[in-house]
Amino acid sequence: MFELIHENKSARAGKLKTAHGTVETPCFMPVATKASVKTLSSSEILDIDVQALISNAFVLYLKPGVDVIEKAGGLHSFMKWGRTIFTDSGGFQILKEEFAPEVKDKGVTFRSPFDETRHLFTPEKCVGVQEALGSDVAMVLDDCPPYGDGHDRMKTSVMRTTDWAKRAKDAHKNKKQLLFSIVQGGTFRDLREKSARDLVDIGFDGYGIGGLSIGEPKDKMLEVLAYTLPLLPRARPRYLMGVGSPVELIRSISLGTDIFDSAFPTRNARHNSVYTWQGSYNITRGKYKTDFSSLEEGCTCYACENYTKAYIRHLMIVYETLGMRLVTIHNLHFLRKLMKKARAAIEENRFSKFESEFSKMHAG
Amino acid sequence: MFELIHENKSARAGKLKTAHGTVETPCFMPVATKASVKTLSSSEILDIDVQALISNAFVLYLKPGVDVIEKAGGLHSFMKWGRTIFTDSGGFQILKEEFAPEVKDKGVTFRSPFDETRHLFTPEKCVGVQEALGSDVAMVLDDCPPYGDGHDRMKTSVMRTTDWAKRAKDAHKNKKQLLFSIVQGGTFRDLREKSARDLVDIGFDGYGIGGLSIGEPKDKMLEVLAYTLPLLPRARPRYLMGVGSPVELIRSISLGTDIFDSAFPTRNARHNSVYTWQGSYNITRGKYKTDFSSLEEGCTCYACENYTKAYIRHLMIVYETLGMRLVTIHNLHFLRKLMKKARAAIEENRFSKFESEFSKMHAG
């Protein structure tokens, strides 16, 4: 199901086969939390050649409800997306204050923001939801405390996440759906090691690295990643959750990460930030007022082939949503191209050079 | 430049030839006030086979500024739209309170909402702006008081609008751009008659009917239209400004109107209202929760060919902008089809039957 095609030092090129196609790794997944990559239609995502996207079991459980998507024939059919779908468990989202969560060993109780009723989300229920959604890759429910919590709380999180992962695996019946667990442990090396070891002992189709990119310094994130990744089995895909800035993607790939997701590239797009090989820039700056070139020279995305900086700047300034859409298309196209180039560099044993050149050029 | 192809009682089928193509009438124009039909790209508007859209000289003068669009090579190039563009003068918008307008015989002074400075917009300046924008049809600056103003104020509006129209015609140099004037007079028959007569005496490429659909009862609007249209030259296009509800379109066509514009069909789309042959419905209603049929049976628009009511309902409820886009596409596609059917009915001398059947069926 995962084929490791080539290694260049720690960097890896691979292929993840799912019930809905092949995902070439390294891979960045756009986020479709509410069953839509914000501002884009599924045909636009396909035009960008996105191979996998990620939605969210907990969020879809709240709205429109699992029954709706099940009746639609699953999430692929509901949102008209024929390629691979990951679903995050929602272990991260459920801990937001608005849900008044209480984490117990049994699961997480939370308050529905829609009718104030309290619900219990267990590892078993979370698997059941994802089986009903019919995603290609399900993530186990994890306990993800905020950055800054102490060793005791983090230790509890690791023990609980392992226990929940085991219960999730026992509950998981759909053999066409892959099941990934999530390594926790905050920034504590002993806990990351324990978490990775215990999860690998249970055995999963792939491993997420959770609890990173949630407020810790970037160097700390890379440090944790550097000592965590080697603990995971070489033959299984590794998925760093929540990372999407171009430089962090490339650095994490060099450490051995295969898969990523993040809302940042699309959120940044909606807030005027345009990704390019030379770094990002704010499209609303005055210097672009009469700049009739495309967002990025040489780019072949729909936005660049059809519209100018001056027009998109105008759209953003007057809050026309077409502007947000065009920059979103551009940023996702940029990341797809970046992943393809990274993969080629790995296959041609020149990833270090690629990484250092990219980091140098990509100041933003 | 306007060819009257067929008349069926008062209803007319025609062709308006502009510098950017032929507009088949009756025609409904989507509104691109800020150089974008809200939520849509220009290729999507083209897919709907829209033949003309309308933007706004005053609004574009404020942002991004005429210089920007002139440097882009005109509005067509700026917004990447190769077919016909009308520009409204902004005579209607400029009178909004936010601009603190003062209407004098010379023109309208207003306060810029961006830098608080006061500006003067004259009929001559308004022509100059529209020539710089390079629209195919320019509308003269008019004085459009709110519905409910008395005979005295309306009389002043008529005199002033005629005077401004004359000045606009004198100032207008671009022979490739058509110039339409605007009949005012509120709901006073004597004033509508005077306005129409005086403008026709000056002579324009076409005639807008302004000051309607601004709060008066619908029957009153149709009554004014019924006695105003016969005063206009048979060989010139007649454009009812601000009308877009399906039933009003068909009734106005039966009275002899050729062209329409309105923000309602697209604004309604963003507020959940879906147009169909049986009337409109609110897509967020509970009954559509697990309705996996398209927005309208048999419709061939992009939204209907790709997505279900249940999915679009979900998108609307969680405020994903893709939902607004899909309903906008559907509503504009519906209106384009409606205009084609109306035209065919006129050409086949069965418009009355078409009108009565449509009105009966189209309850909403």
Chain A positions in Cβ-Cβ contact with residue B79 (cut-off 8 Å): 311
A320/chain B closest Cα distance in angstroms: 6
Chain A positions in Cβ-Cβ contact with residue B61 (cut-off 8 Å): none
Q: For residues B165 and B162, what is the distance between their CA atoms, to the nearest angstrom?
A: 5
Mark whether B355 and B268 lie in a shared domain.
yes
Whether residue A321 and residue B322 make contact (CB cut-off 8 A), yes or no, is: no
pLDDT tens digit sequence for B138-189 = 999 999 999 999 999 999 999 999 999 999 999 999 999 999 999 999 999 9
Among B269, B264, B242, B245, smallest CA distance to B88 is for: B242
Cα distances (Å, whole numbers) of residue A174 to A72, A78, A123, A128, A171: 18, 19, 15, 9, 9
Task: Choose, from A67, A88, A105, A190, the residue flagged as catalytic.
Answer: A88
Is the CB of residue A244 less than 8 Å from the CB of residue A262? yes
Among A72, A78, A45, A69, smallest CA distance to B307 is for: A78
Residue B364 has pLDDT above 60, yes or no: no
Cβ count within 10 A of residue B173? 9
* Cα B91–Cα B260–Cα B144 angle in degrees, nearest 5: 20
Q: Can you state the percent helix, strand and coil of chain A, rounding each to 5?
A: 45, 20, 35
Cis peptide leading into B265, omega within 30 of 0?
no
Average pLDDT of chain A to the nearest whole number = 97
Structure-token pair, residue B64 = 């991004």
Give the dihedral of Cα atoms A297, A300, A305, A309; nearest 10 deg: -40
Q: Terminus-to-terminus CA distance in chain A, angstroms?
A: 36
Average pLDDT of chain B to the nearest whole number = 97
- H helices of chain B, in order, are 42-47, 57-62, 66-71, 75-79, 123-133, 151-171, 189-202, 218-228, 246-254, 264-270, 302-306, 309-317, 321-347, 351-361
Residue A304 has pLDDT above 70, yes or no: yes
What radius of gyration, in Å, describes the C-alpha atoms of chain A? 20
pLDDT tens digit sequence for B187-210 = 999 999 999 999 999 999 999 999
> Judging by DSSP bridges, how do beta strands A2-8 and A238-241 pair with one another?
unpaired
Structure-token pair, residue B200 = 């026709």
Considering only alpha carbons, which residue of chain A is nearest residue B42?
A306
Residue A342 has pLDDT above 90, yes or no: yes
* ipTM rounded to 2 decimals: 0.97
Q: At residue A186, what are phi and psi to the nearest 5 degrees? A: 55, -135
A77/chain B closest Cα distance in angstroms: 9
Mean pLDDT for the stretch of residues A209-231: 97
At A53 the three-state DSSP class reads strand
A190/chain B closest Cα distance in angstroms: 41
Mean pLDDT for the stretch of residues A269-279: 97
Cβ count within 10 A of residue A97? 6
pLDDT tens digit sequence for B222-279 = 999 999 999 999 999 999 999 999 999 999 999 999 999 999 999 999 999 999 999 9
Q: For residues B263 and A189, what is the distance between their CA atoms, to the nearest angstrom?
A: 59
Q: Is the pTM of this model over 0.80?
A: yes
Using pLDDT thresholds of 50, 70 and 90, give the confidence band for residue B363: low
| Closest Cβ–Cβ partner in A41, A71, A326 for B322 | A41
Mean pLDDT for the stretch of residues A323-332: 98
Q: For residues A198 and A189, what is the distance between their CA atoms, to the nearest angstrom?
A: 14
B306/chain A closest Cα distance in angstroms: 7
Among B170, B74, B178, smallest CA distance to B123 is for: B170
B80/chain A closest Cα distance in angstroms: 7
Whether residue B80 and residue A311 make contact (CB cut-off 8 A), yes or no, is: yes
Cβ count within 10 A of residue B48? 22
For the ranges A68-72, B112-116, B312-316, the lowest mean pLDDT is seen at: B112-116
Q: For residues B141 and B89, what is the distance between their CA atoms, to the nearest angstrom?
A: 5
Q: CATH no. for residue A10?
A: 3.20.20.105
* Residue type at B331 in one-letter notation: N
Mean pLDDT for the stretch of residues A123-135: 98
Is the CB of residue A311 less than 8 Å from the CB of residue B72? yes
Mark whether B35 and B184 lie in a shared domain.
yes
| Closest Cβ–Cβ partner in A34, A314, A322 for B320 | A34
Considering only alpha carbons, which residue of chain A is nearest residue B44?
A322
| Closest Cβ–Cβ partner in A72, A79, A324 for B292 | A72
Mark whether A23 and A62 lie in a shared domain.
yes
pLDDT tens digit sequence for B42-53 = 999 999 999 999
Q: What is the DSSP letter of A145?
A: P
Helix (H) and strand (E) counts in chain A: 14, 16
Percent of chain A with pLDDT strictly greater than 90 = 98
Residue B178: strand pairing partners: B137
Chain A positions in Cβ-Cβ contact with residue B309 (cut-off 8 Å): none
Chain A positions in Cβ-Cβ contact with residue B315 (cut-off 8 Å): 34-36
Percent of chain B with pLDDT strictly greater than 90 = 97
Structure-token pair, residue B171 = 């100032």
Mark whether A252 and A269 lie in a shared domain.
no
Question: Sign (positive/negative) of CA torsion B271, B272, B276, B281?
Answer: negative
Task: Establish how many alpha carbons lie within 13 A of residue B167's alpha carbon, considering only the half-sphere containing its beta carbon.
Answer: 18
Whether residue A68 and residue B306 make contact (CB cut-off 8 A), yes or no, is: no
**Domain termination residue (choose one: B238, B261, B284):** B261
Chain B positions in Cβ-Cβ contact with residue A34 (cut-off 8 Å): 314-315, 318, 320
A41/chain B closest Cα distance in angstroms: 6
Count of the separate structural domains present in chain A:
2
B79/chain A closest Cα distance in angstroms: 7
Is the CB of residue A75 less than 8 Å from the CB of residue A33? no
Whether residue B322 and residue A40 make contact (CB cut-off 8 A), yes or no, is: yes
Structure-token pair, residue B225 = 């239209």
| Closest Cβ–Cβ partner in B40, B289, B323 for A322 | B40
- What pLDDT score was predicted for residue A199? 98
Mark whether A109 and A207 lie in a shared domain.
yes
| Closest Cβ–Cβ partner in A36, A315, A320 for B322 | A36
Q: For residues A130 and A125, what is the distance between their CA atoms, to the nearest angstrom?
A: 9
**For the packed helices A151-171 and A123-133, what is the interaxial angle rounded to 10 degrees?**
50
What radius of gyration, in Å, describes the C-alpha atoms of chain B? 20
Phi-psi region of B326 (alpha: psi -120 to 50; beta: other; left: phi over 0): alpha
* Cα A325–Cα A326–Cα A331 angle in degrees, nearest 5: 95
pLDDT tens digit sequence for A135-153 = 999 999 999 999 999 999 9
Mark whether B252 and B284 lie in a shared domain.
no
Mark whether A106 and A205 lie in a shared domain.
yes
Residue A54: strand pairing partners: A31, A86
**Domain termination residue (choose one: A262, A280, A302):** A262
Whether residue A310 and residue B78 make contact (CB cut-off 8 A), yes or no, is: yes
Considering only alpha carbons, which residue of chain B is nearest residue A289?
B68
Residue among A41, A61, A302 with most chain B CBs within 10 A, to mutate: A41
Whether residue A313 and residue B64 make contact (CB cut-off 8 A), yes or no, is: yes
* Residue type at B282 in one-letter notation: N
- What pLDDT score was predicted for residue B116? 87
Give the dihedral of Cα atoms B278, B283, B285, B287; nearest 10 deg: 70
Mean pLDDT for the stretch of residues A26-41: 98
Chain B positions in Cβ-Cβ contact with residue A40 (cut-off 8 Å): 322
Whether residue B290 and residue A68 make contact (CB cut-off 8 A), yes or no, is: yes
Q: At residue A117, what are phi and psi to the nearest 5 degrees? A: -70, 150
**Domain termination residue (choose one: B216, B235, B261):** B261
Mean pLDDT for the stretch of residues A174-186: 98
Mark whether A250 and A289 lie in a shared domain.
no
Domain ranges, residue B144:
2-261
Query: For B9-160, where are the E strands, in sequence order?
Result: 11-18, 21-25, 27-29, 52-56, 84-88, 102-103, 108-111, 118-121, 137-139
Mark whether B253 and B281 lie in a shared domain.
no
- What pLDDT score was predicted for residue A128? 98
Structure-token pair, residue B122 = 């004259």
| Closest Cβ–Cβ partner in A42, A80, A306 for B80 | A306
* Cα A64–Cα A65–Cα A70 angle in degrees, nearest 5: 105
* Residue type at B12 in one-letter notation: R
Mark whether A141 and A206 lie in a shared domain.
yes
- What pLDDT score was predicted for residue A32? 98
Mark whether B93 and B155 lie in a shared domain.
yes
Chain A positions in Cβ-Cβ contact with residue B93 (cut-off 8 Å): none
Whether residue B314 and residue A40 make contact (CB cut-off 8 A), yes or no, is: no
Whether residue A321 and residue B321 make contact (CB cut-off 8 A), yes or no, is: yes
Using pLDDT thresholds of 50, 70 and 90, give the confidence band for residue A362: confident
Q: For residues B273 and B267, what is the distance between their CA atoms, to the nearest angstrom?
A: 9
Residue A196 has pLDDT above 90, yes or no: yes
Q: For residues B204 and B179, what is the distance between their CA atoms, to the nearest angstrom?
A: 6
Residue A27: strand pairing partners: A259
Cβ count within 10 A of residue B51? 22
Known catalytic residues of B are 88, 261
Mark whether B306 and B359 lie in a shared domain.
yes
